[in-house]
Amino acid sequence: MAQQSGAAFTRRTFIGVAGGVAASTLLAACSRAGNGGGGGSASGGKLKFWNMPWGTPAFLAEDKRIVAGWKYKDFTATYQQIQWANFTTQFATGASSNTGPAVSSGGGTTSVLYAHDGKIQYLDDLIAGKWTDNGIKDDFLPGLLDALKTDKGTTGVPYNLDVRPAWYNKTLFDQYGLQVPTTWDEYKTVCATLKTKGIYGLGLGSGSGNNIGFHAITGFLINNGGGWFNDKQEPDADTDRNEEALDFFLELVRSGYSDPAASSYTNANVYTQWQNHKMAYGWDTAGLSVNVTGAVQKEVAVATPLTAPHGDKGFLYFPNPMMTWNNTPSKDANLDLLTYYYQNMKTLWTKKTGIGLPPLKSISDDPAIAGDPNNKAIIDNWVTPGVFKTWGAPGNTGIFYNVANTVDGTAPTYTFAQKVLTPTDKTSAKDLLTQFQTTLEGLMKK
């Protein structure tokens, strides 16, 4: 799934919640660019706009229509859809040969990776200037703009959100008289009751291509005020809060609340277990309700965020970015195209083309999104209150270069999750975290 290199990206699969169809997502500094410079005096030409297939074929048609309507002075845009199967190669080749896009979307770490290589146009001046004046800045859901801001500038702006909320089966909860848990203790009690019915309350997997297991483990660390990195962007795995959270997670596993085969489950295996009423609570993407089939689609619902023992709330999400590139006929035109796109992209959601959760309040408030109770629950109870955090937690609000090298889809993260989901009698949270700390330190790059 993920290439193990400094220029690697993670491809994540989730459901396009707006349209109810499967969609593939993903997931050195250059001087800060303002609204000019870097080709800003060019008189005209074609800007390359690259985007991935975030939804159904209807997404491609609508996205091409939006981009075709843009014009700035004598500039227009060409459109190219980049397929997931080879998108890492195309971006890497385009960046190294200066044949890449002027404006593009990307996976969760794309913008920070290429900013590190000096390829990305920073967007701080645009956001502080034009986007403050025209209201786009204030239209973003709370906290999102900080997620892609490094110590050298804002590398991109959130385009669609890949989130990890908790889900539960309403029908099974009603059948067994269960209340949706709000604390760790309540959650453990729910798991214990479900176990007596032959149902798992820690529903997830960590098999081939399925990184939900590691995402959920990370989410529990964040939920307890922990995470993988300190405020110096250094690995900091072996902390008291992390150990407390991982101890709790291991207790759930050892108590039989997770499927014994979870460490080998693909996404499809997990969905089958939900469909067979073998899982009734767990963590997944925003599109679980449309990735399962049959009656279960209407039975599952987004749960309430859990409050950890010290009063913390939190879990993991990935803000997939839109970004502008330094290799362009005109940086002014780049920023104008990006602005135009954000002012006109709403129909990608209102026409239900399959794209993921929107970053703007004006879109999330539209009945096309807010009319779905699960979408609304995620936006209102998880996104807006700031429950979701990035990989950079607890020391950082945003992501940074070494996130991609260490925790975002790397092979050691699968190994770690599988060890947690298959503990031996001697497995301890302390030992796992100490070992993983050493692994993370070895993956760090300059």
**pLDDT, tens digit (0-9, with 9 covering 90-100), for 200-233:** 999 999 999 999 999 999 999 999 999 999 999 9
In the predicted model, what is the mean pLDDT of residues 404-427?
Answer: 96
pLDDT confidence band for 43 (50 / 70 / 90): low
Q: Are residues 296 and 326 in the same domain?
A: no
Flag whether 287 is in a domain.
yes
Q: Assess whether 176 and 298 both reside in one domain.
A: yes
Domain assignment of residue 1, yes or no: no
102: closest CA among 166, 38, 25? 38
- Nearest-angstrom CA–CA distance, 377 and 166: 11
Rounded CA gap, 192 and 201, in Å?
8
Structure tokens that stand for 340 in this block: 């135009």
Domain-embedded: residue 339? yes
List the Cα angle 435/319/410 in 5-degree steps.
30
Based on the fold, state whether residues 79 and 59 are members of the same structural domain. Answer: yes
Pair of tokens at residue 113: 């990776």
Within a 10 A sphere around the Cβ of 347, how many other Cβ atoms? 15
Q: Does the residue 29 lie in any domain? A: no
Q: Report pLDDT for 15.
A: 32
Whether residue 40 has pLDDT greater than 90: no
The structural domain count of the chain equals 2
Same domain, 198 and 281: yes
Indicate whether 84 and 142 sit together in one domain: yes
Q: Which domain holds residue 50?
A: 46-161+318-382
pLDDT band at 44 (very low <50, low <70, confident <90, very high): confident
DSSP class of residue 325? B
pLDDT digits (tens, 9 = 90+) for 273-310: 999 999 999 999 999 999 999 999 999 999 999 999 99
This prediction has a pTM of 0.90
- Given a contact cutoff of 8 angstroms between Cβ atoms, the answer to whether 259 and 200 are in contact is yes
- Is 129 a domain residue? yes
Per the domain annotation, does 13 fall within a domain?
no
**Same-domain check for residues 84 and 186:** no
Question: Which CATH number does the domain housing residue 142 bear?
Answer: 3.40.190.10
Q: Check pLDDT > 50 for residue 2.
A: no
* 101 in a structural domain: yes
Task: Give the gyration radius of the chain's Cα atoms.
Answer: 21
